[in-house]
Structure 1
């Protein structure tokens, strides 16, 4: 059993203090945003506007924790024996880099919307900032949790608070995307909860003991549930349908964290809990490669730049998932494949975050004095995603190929298949460039948080993945088998030819379209040949047919139950009438409170965390 840190061990920058600060600070800001509703409208707007301005600072404790933590020296920096079933939090080899990337992306997203809100009096409610802060708390909680119960609680907070990001604009598309997202999230949460219960029953409550589930009679069931549950969040085909709908519906800042940070929670879930197994690994590898290549075909047929990027994320997550699958199939390679997956996830998070944040930046700043800067930044982020030589993408692809060397799929080396995903990425990025170039422009005279946050993510994408890969993850003791690229001519060529192949294929497709050799549906620039969500369209059509066919049976069942319902209704109506008077009295006093539910939830959360800290020091 891991011990609670002694009071004497607490210092200003110790993990035992930074961990609760990282989780508590965003919740305090959300609570303040909710309590502002108790003030008169004018004062509430002023307070919320100021709180959103300082919201990016809420990620500072998490950044400090990632920079100062030493994975392995204190696996449980914070333990609260009385919370849930005994809560444990810490920073390990894989949590540290993902924690830093999440903090940087959420900080950039909060900065991108905060300065805009200062100019927009109609959008000063702080709702988007509040949901970003809640998602951030849950997101980093999945990295810091060192036991099954804490992990599940953080994962659920992240998943359901993200619905507020998707529905933010409240358009019909946003509402449909949110419905799909919530259905998929509920299915995901149910599968994960069932799997974690089985893992815990096998003695795997703590992360250090989760491998014990591999030898139980329920190993196959656990593997299936976790592949499904975390596959929804990771965008694994065919569970990816929410991603192409959510990204165009959500604000660009929200899309950046959805694609750059939140989908990585599926990766960390697999690394934490998924038991080894050749069959499970083979299934996951097949799904990963299918998604990596099928997403390219679907993405190049889209006409919305954010939808194209969403399919690019599905393809890139297929690349990462393939590394996890190899680790399941060959446990001796697991240290190398897991480290490579984390390195690639770090690179992808920053590069894809820069592209999503860059969508409005291109619209507002791609002309005039800032035009060259915007072009250079977007080009750099795109080259990194494609894996061009000397970029962080080339680094991630190099260590990934080294990690899976010797693994074959249908007689073909996996290290020969993975570079072709870069060819697909090139096609998607060229499509993205074409549609965003043709999009409308709305120039702004002055720079704001939107531009500065994008510049910050671009700069971090150049430097941070190299530092993390060289000093954090590729430690020879903790991650054997991961090597730094030497950038010899052969290495440079390996990173170059997939991009050249992608450019060649794009040129052939463009020429075929110009000559009229492609079907009109594929070459049309007005409507996507395959709607975003692809499989979801067929699924919705099937459900409608099933629903219409089952209508007769439902009518018969309704006739049978209606008579019983009438008898029971008279009994309950009298009891309900008595309770209604009491509820009306309470509602009359709470009716003037704006965001009462959110306020109460946040208040209880803060009280719980404060009590946790106090009890942790006393115990």
Structure 2
């Protein structure tokens, strides 16, 4: 029975989307968004040790499964989708565009949660395609020039990532033993696959793009400021984890692939430091958070890279725990920006204290989930140069998050006496509480880190000094930051002005299409067509992947 929850993780959001064909249901759907992730949350709690569920017939072979590593990320992502959905009800209001937003939200959620319960190449690719393509509707929802520009960039890179993964999956299936396309079977055969180096390069490119790794990170700092606040929360907290789970599932811990492990480690470290350097030049708090997400995903990639380079199996759960912590923290911090934007000049503890604690937790502040996550990563990172660089990167994370807090303090509503509605404030506080409490509850079971270990003087100092260093650096930033260059959102992409000019004609065409798609019933029909095309791809792809 628990295995049926894996199908419900997909089916419930899709059923709710189909119900939007009724105008009456469509108008009420924004108030129901918090219900759609419940099967995913139940699956994470109850089905993480259930037997895989295989739907097999002469045309189609689909496998749904959930291992403990994927369950960690599924549970965290489901919580964020649920709370952000409740938050979205108040944030989006009852305007004419709220129903359209809800439909894109449901389709994107289906793919975002679906990647965690996919057990074969075809099912995984379908879920990944859904989350990648449907998220455009969240990025471009506001239909402003920045939103349209962000939508153009996002969909272009998303298609590029999909092509990379399609090629990789086709090569995996072509050389798989027998007719099985189960993920565990094709990955087990990857070290002996004659095309293994091409496959791993394509996998790191496709999944690294979604996770925000350098140099394909550019969609994040452009998409986040353009999207509505609840959409930014799930984009940064949950959607980029589709890339993380892909790297975890498809990169084998094999001694013959140490070179790729080293390459992923280097990419991760470069991403972690580069994002901090660009992030501290930003003024929009949402953009600062976007670069923080890029930096944090660089840290996750470093842990996975070291696991791949050394064959250390503990790296996968450590990376999953680190990523799940990021889901909760970053989701909560994006919601805090929305609360600040609806509040007047006065700041009270319901915003300042939780936001400050969560921000410093990303840097590994002692007695927080961030410190536990850093302890969990200690084993795969070892005691050498990489571990030292990751610790220094934690100081950079502290600097960037303190910079975010200053930017958050400058965010306020037009009226000095305005106060955020309970529909925004309560979900934000609930998300903040879960981000603090859940890592402590789960760390002993998942990664073997106990409260006692984190209270050892050596561990306290190891967690404290990067935060102290980051705090000193932020004072220097406040003093001399005005002299820093103002790097535009999207950094290397925007700086490539020649490429931008060459794509302007295409962008204008896509923008006109986007404006048309923003109208109902066109948007509803487009969603239905997209869903039907994805369903047709299941049947067409079953021949390719067998």
Do both share a fold (TM > 0.5)?
yes
Cα pair 1:211 1:273 within 8 Å, conserved? no
Is 1:82 aligned to 2:69, yes or no? no
Is 1:136 aligned to 2:109, yes or no? yes
Cα pair 2:339 2:425 within 8 Å, conserved? yes
Is 1:219 aligned to 2:196, yes or no? yes
Gap change, CA 1:147 and 1:103, over 3 Å in 2: same
Residue 509 of structure 1 and its aligned partner are, at CA, apart by 3.0
Residue 28 of structure 1 and its aligned partner are, at CA, apart by 1.3
Offset from partner CA, 1:468-492 (integer Å, 9 cap, x none):
3222x237xxxxxx77734111111
Gap change, CA 1:148 and 1:375, over 3 Å in 2: same
- RMSD (CA atoms): 2.6
Matches within 5 A, 1:64-103: 64-71=42-49, 73-74=50-51, 76=52, 78-82=53-57, 85-103=60-78
Cα pair 2:130 2:534 within 8 Å, conserved? no
- Residue of structure 2 in register with 1:56 after alignment: 34
- Residue of structure 2 in register with 1:207 after alignment: 183
SS in 2 for 1:243: helix
Residue 50 of structure 1 and its aligned partner are, at CA, apart by 2.2
Query: Larger radius of gyration, structure 1 or 2?
Result: 1
- Residue of structure 2 in register with 1:419 after alignment: 391
Cα pair 2:454 2:460 within 8 Å, conserved? no
Offset from partner CA, 1:302-326 (integer Å, 9 cap, x none):
1111000000001000000001111
Q: Distance in 1 between matches of 2:80 and 2:288?
A: 20
Cα pair 1:293 1:424 within 8 Å, conserved? yes
**Structure 1 unaligned spans of 5+:** 1-13, 37-43, 476-481, 523-527, 549-590, 610-619
Matches within 5 A, 1:301-320: 301-320=281-300
Offset from partner CA, 1:50-77 (integer Å, 9 cap, x none):
2221221111111111111242x52x1x
Cα pair 2:104 2:527 within 8 Å, conserved? no
Match of 1:361 among 305, 319, 339: 339
Q: Distance in 1 between matches of 2:82 and 2:44?
A: 14
Residue 84 of structure 1 and its aligned partner are, at CA, apart by 6.1
Matches within 5 A, 1:402-413: 402-406=379-383, 408=384, 413=385
Residue 99 of structure 1 and its aligned partner are, at CA, apart by 0.7
Is 1:287 aligned to 2:267, yes or no? yes
Match of 2:372 among 385, 392, 395: 395
Q: Distance in 2 between matches of 1:63 and 1:242?
A: 28
Cα pair 1:253 1:357 within 8 Å, conserved? yes
SS in 2 for 1:15: coil
Q: Distance in 1 between matches of 2:344 and 2:379?
A: 39
SS in 1 for 2:54: strand
Q: Distance in 2 between matches of 1:529 and 1:138?
A: 36
Cα pair 2:10 2:114 within 8 Å, conserved? yes
Aligned residues: 514
Residue 48 of structure 1 and its aligned partner are, at CA, apart by 2.9
Is 1:385 aligned to 2:362, yes or no? yes
Match of 2:140 among 159, 167, 186: 167
Normalised to the residue count of structure 2, the TM-score between the two structures is: 0.88
Q: Distance in 2 between matches of 1:300 and 1:264?
A: 24
Q: Distance in 1 between matches of 2:59 and 2:117?
A: 16
Q: Distance in 2 between matches of 1:536 and 1:267?
A: 23
User: Structure 1 segments of 4 or more deviating over 6 A?
Assistant: 545-548, 591-594, 603-609
- Residue of structure 1 in register with 2:480 after alignment: 512
Residue 547 of structure 1 and its aligned partner are, at CA, apart by 10
- Residue of structure 2 in register with 1:109 after alignment: 84
Most deviating of 268-277 and 390-399: 268-277
Residue 439 of structure 1 and its aligned partner are, at CA, apart by 2.6
Matches within 5 A, 1:441-452: 441-442=413-414, 444-445=418-419, 447-452=421-426
Is 1:596 aligned to 2:525, yes or no? yes
Residue 163 of structure 1 and its aligned partner are, at CA, apart by 0.4
Matches within 5 A, 1:520-599: 522=484, 529-542=486-499, 544=501, 595-599=524-528
Q: Distance in 2 between matches of 1:133 and 1:83?
A: 30
